[in-house]
Amino acid sequence: MNILVTGGAGYIGSHTCIALLEAGHQVVIADDFSNSDEKALEAIGTITGKDFKFYQVNVARFHRLEKAFTEQKIDGVIHFAGFKAVGESVENPLDYYANNLKSTITLLKLCRKYKVQQFVFSSSATVYGDGEVPFVETQNLKPATNPYGETKVMNEKILKDYAKANPEFAVILLRYFNPVGAHPSGLIGEHPRGIPNNLMPYITQVAKGLRDQLYVFGDDYDTVDGTGVRDYIHVMDLAEGHVQAMEHLQKGWDVVNLGTGKGTSVLELVRAFEKVNEIEVPYSIAPRREGDIALCYADTQKAQRVLGWRAKRNVEDMCRDAWQFEKNNRHEGQ
C-alpha cells in the first residue's frame, strides 16, 4: 500500500515509517517540522535504504496538502500530526483545538474527495481519564483534564461519525499507552524541545548531565511504591502495531489499545534504567503533578485478537535504546 503518514518526521511517526517501509509498503510523509526536523527523514532513509516521498506542509491547510493527494496515489492514511504538550494545551487551548481538530477534518475532506477509505488514527490512553485499570476499549471514557486530551476524544468522535456516514470508510483508533525508547540504531528517538514533560526523556537528560536530577512527582499514590504506574511501550512495538492496524482495517470503525498490559512505577523505571545502562540517575521526591493519575495500564486482549499484535520488547530494551539515542543526540548549545 501507498500510505500517507502525517507527522511522519515526529517521534512515533518516524519509527512507524521505518516499520511500514520494512514491511514493504510505500510511504508519503506530510510534516511541517513544527516539532521535528529533517534529521529524522535522513535517518529513515539510512536505516531502511528505501525511498519515500516528503511534503513539508501543515496538515490543516487543505490546498497545500491536496498536492500530496493529486501527485501521489494514496491508499491509506496514518494520522499522527498534532500538538501534544499537555501543559501548553492548558495555556493555549485555542491553538490546540484549532490545529488538532482542523487537521483531522481537512484530511477527511481530502480522503472523501480522493476516495481514500483506509485510516488509522493516533489516539491516547488519556481518553480513559482516571477510570478503572486495566483500561478496556469498551469502558466509558472520562472527561479529559486538559485540552490536549479533549482533542483526542473529539477526534475519535469526528472519525466515528465520518465512518457512520461513509459506509466504505474503514478506521482504527489506536489508543497508545506510554511510548518510550528509540530505534536500536540510535539514529532516531524522542527529541523534545526545551524541558521534557515526559519521564523517559527527562531521565535520559539527567543521566547525560544536562539536568541535575529527576523530580519524582509524588510518592504517596496507592501503588506498589507510592509513585505513578504507567504502561511503557517500546516505540518500535508501537510502530509495528500501526502496520498491523493498517493491514487489518475493515469497513466501519474500531478502537484498539496499544500497550504491554504491564505497569511500571517511576522508581522501577529509574532502577531499570540505572541497571541496564550502568549509570546513576539522581532523583528527589517532589509534589504530585496536577492532573496525574495513580495507575494507567492496558487490557491488551483486543490488540491480540483483532490485530494479531503484541508487544515484544521489555522495559530493559526501552531503557537501553532510549539511552543509546540520547548519547548520539545533540541538544542546542551542546
Binding site for ligand UD1 (CB under 6 A): 86, 124, 126, 149, 178, 197-199, 202, 214-217, 228, 230, 266, 289, 291-292, 296
Alpha-carbon span 82 to 220, nearest angstrom = 33
Q: Cα(134)–Cα(151) distance, rounded to whole angstroms?
A: 23
CB of 214 to ligand UD1, least distance (A): 6
Could you tell me which of 211, 239, 262, 261 has the C-alpha nearest to residue 321?
Answer: 239
- Least separation, in Å, of the C-beta of 6 and ligand UD1? 18
DSSP characters for 218-256?
-S-SSSSSSS-EE-EEEHHHHHHHHHHHHHT--SEEEEE
Comparing CB distances to ligand UD1, the nearer of 8 and 201 is 201
Q: How far is the CB of 157 from ligand UD1 (least distance, A)?
A: 17
Beta bridge partners of 284: 215
Residue 183 burial by CB count (10 A; 0-12/13-18/19+): exposed, middle or buried?
Answer: buried
- Nearer CB in complex with ligand UD1: 21/318: 318
Nearer to ligand UD1, 36 or 178 (CB): 178
Residue 125: what residue type?
Answer: A
Kindly state the cell numbers that stand for 190: 524522542
30 phi and psi angles, rounded to 5 deg: -120, 120
**144 vs 243, beta carbon nearer ligand UD1:** 144
The distance of closest approach from Cβ of residue 232 to ligand UD1 in the complex, given in angstroms and rounded to an integer, is 8
Q: Read out DSSP for 38-61? A: HHHHHHHHHHH----EEEE--TT-
Q: In the 8-state DSSP scheme, what is residue 288?
A: P
Q: Which residue is nearest to ligand UD1 (CB)?
A: 228
Residue 111 CB, nearest distance to ligand UD1 (Å)?
25
Task: Give the active site residue among 11, 55, 128, 148.
Answer: 148
* Nearest C-alpha neighbor of 292 from the set 271, 266, 270: 266
How many other CB atoms are found less than 10 A from the CB of residue 319?
27
CB 41, min distance to ligand UD1, A: 22
Nearer to ligand UD1, 25 or 183 (CB): 183
Cβ(222)–Cβ(216) under 8 Å? no
Using the minimum distance from each CB to ligand UD1, give the nearer residue, 172 or 296: 296
Whether 215 is catalytic: no
Say how many residues make up the chain.
334
Q: Which residues carry out catalysis?
A: 148
